[in-house]
Structures are given as C-alpha cells and as structure tokens.
C-alpha cells in the first residue's frame, strides 16, 4: 500500500491567506508513523488527501492546494494516452471523481518531473479538517539543514540533505527538479508524500516524495519532487 506524503519545511513565508493553517497546531518535537514515526491526528494536516479506487481501496495520496485541485506524484497515476491532455481515470474518494493532468515532462524511467494535478469533479467543502496547503514561489530557496515535516497517515520531522550528501548516495540521478531529505534514521519508505514548511504557523508544500532506497534504508536520503520548480506549470493548469 502506498501513501502519498507531503513535505513542508520550517521558516518559509507565504503571501497567500487562507492556506497552510491547520486548526490544530502541530508540534515538531515528535515523529508520527512512517518509518520510525507515530500516528497523526485528524485536522493536524487538513490538506492530506487519500486517493482511492472505485472499490474504496487507498492506493496513493495527495495535497489539497485549493477547493478544486489536488497535487500528487505522477508515478502514482496510471499513464494517459496523451500526457498533455486532461485524462479522466477511474479514481474516486467517497464517490468524488478526479480528472488527472500529469506534467508533460514526466519521465517514468528517470522519475524526473514526478508531479501531477487532480481536478475534483466538485469543490471540496472546506472547514477545520479540510483546508489547502500553501504553494511555494518559483524562486524559493531551501537552505541545507532546514527542518521539514513529511506527512501522510503519520508524520516525521526531517532535515533537508545538502547537495553533496545527496550526491554521495544518488550521484547524477538528482536533478534540479528534485530535493533530498531524510537519511538520519527515519524514512518515508514506499510511501508517497509531501513536505510542508512553516513560517509563523503557516505551512508551504515544498516537496512530493518521489523515490529512494528500495530496502527502506533509514540512513539514505529520499528524493522529493521540488514543488517550486513546477509553480508556473501548476498555475497555468489551475488558472486555465
């Protein structure tokens, strides 16, 4: 079973109101069930979405970015005949269907540009337990050793891995559209997830779990899709 997780990093600013503000303020002093983590609680990460098939089985996850759109990993989505076109799929959650748009540069072999957008058939009903996460600006700089949180049906606090540390494990497989995190005794193994980052209690989506160690090695950094790299593409799709 795969859970998409989102990565958020501490001390990032957002210029958009009404996003990234959970009704329950999370504590970064604990980890919550991932690999070496703990359970999370309802409302703590109100943008976390469960993607389910027509039988109600969870197969992946995503993050709500507004009442109509969810961002997820492209590798979680069955391939479309024409990737640049809206591609209806048999996806549902509580009877809600999704329209899928994968990034046109997604490469299923290198896992580069691993991002997709899902449009809800009807708007999500926002409230204390359902609200969007903020998106990062295109020029977002993520300093090494920034504290981040990876969330799914659990959460864990991460430190961003510096580029040299990441290259030590993955070499040229890491591209400008990716960011590394973890590798210090915790893992988002076999989970699809996202990283949010917070400034004064406001969380920004900075990464989407893409790939990593095949044997769940908690000492190896995980590669995430760098969301800021795709901000212009996200805006062009959402605002079309």
Q: Is 193 labeled as catalytic in the residue annotation?
A: yes
d(CA 71, CA 48): 10
Name which CATH class applies to 5-238.
mainly beta
Distance of CA 224 to the CA centre of its chain: 8
Catalytic residue, chosen from 63, 76, 93, 114, is 114
CA atoms within 13 A on the CB side of 145: 0
Q: Is 76 labeled as catalytic in the residue annotation?
A: no
Region label for 163, one of left (φ > 0), alpha (ψ between -120 and 50) or beta (otherwise) = alpha
Q: pLDDT averaged over consecutive 10-residue blocks of the chain (240 residues)?
A: 50 61 66 47 79 75 92 80 46 57 93 94 89 91 72 64 76 87 51 53 85 65 90 96
Q: What is the pLDDT of residue 20?
A: 87
Catalytic residue, chosen from 193, 210, 213, 228, is 193
Q: What is the pLDDT of residue 23?
A: 78
Catalytic residue, chosen from 63, 75, 93, 213, is 75
Q: Per the structure block, which two tokens stand in for 81? A: 């005949």
Q: What is the pLDDT of residue 93?
A: 42
Backbone φ and ψ of 75, nearest 5°: -70, -15
CA atoms within 13 A on the CB side of 64: 24
Q: Is 114 labeled as catalytic in the residue annotation?
A: yes
Residues 6+ apart with CB under 8 A from 95: none
> What are the DSSP calls for the chain, one per residue?
----EEEEESS-----TTSS--SSPPPTTS-BSSBS-B---TTSSTTEEEEEETTS-EEEEEEE-SSSEEEE-GGGSPPPSSTTS-EEEEEEETTEEEEEEE-TT-BTTTTBT--EEEEESS----BTTB-PPBPPPTT----TT-EEEEEESEEEEEEBPPHHHHHHHHGGG--TTEEEE--SS-B-TT--EEEEEEETTEEEEEEEEEE--TT--TTSPEEEEEGGGGHHHHHHHHT-
Q: How many residues does the chain have?
A: 240
Q: Read off the pTM.
A: 0.79
């Amino acid at each position: 079973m795969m859970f998409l997780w989102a990565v958020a990093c501490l001390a990032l600013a957002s210029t958009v109101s009404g996003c990234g503000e959970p009704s329950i303020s999370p504590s970064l002093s604990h980890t919550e069930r991932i690999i070496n983590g703990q359970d999370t609680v309802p409302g703590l990460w109100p943008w976390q979405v469960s993607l389910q098939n027509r039988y109600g089985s969870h197969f992946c996850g995503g993050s709500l970015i507004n009442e109509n759109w969810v961002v997820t990993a492209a590798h979680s989505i069955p391939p479309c005949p024409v990737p640049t076109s809206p591609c209806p799929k048999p996806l549902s959650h509580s009877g809600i269907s999704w329209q899928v748009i994968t990034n046109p540069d997604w490469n299923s072999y290198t896992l580069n540009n691993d991002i997709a957008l899902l449009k809800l058939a009807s708007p999500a009903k926002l409230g204390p337990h359902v609200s969007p996460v903020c998106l990062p600006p295109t020029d977002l700089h993520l300093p090494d050793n920034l504290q981040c949180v990876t969330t799914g049906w659990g959460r864990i606090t991460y430190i961003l891995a510096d580029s040299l540390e990441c290259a030590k494990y993955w070499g040229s497989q890491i591209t400008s559209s990716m960011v590394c995190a973890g590798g210090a005794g915790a893992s988002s193994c076999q989970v699809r997830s996202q990283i949010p980052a917070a400034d004064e209690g406001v969380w920004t989506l900075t990464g989407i779990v893409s790939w990593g160690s095949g044997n769940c090695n908690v000492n190896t950094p995980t590669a995430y899709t760098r969301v800021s790299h795709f901000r212009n593409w996200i805006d062009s799709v959402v605002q079309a």
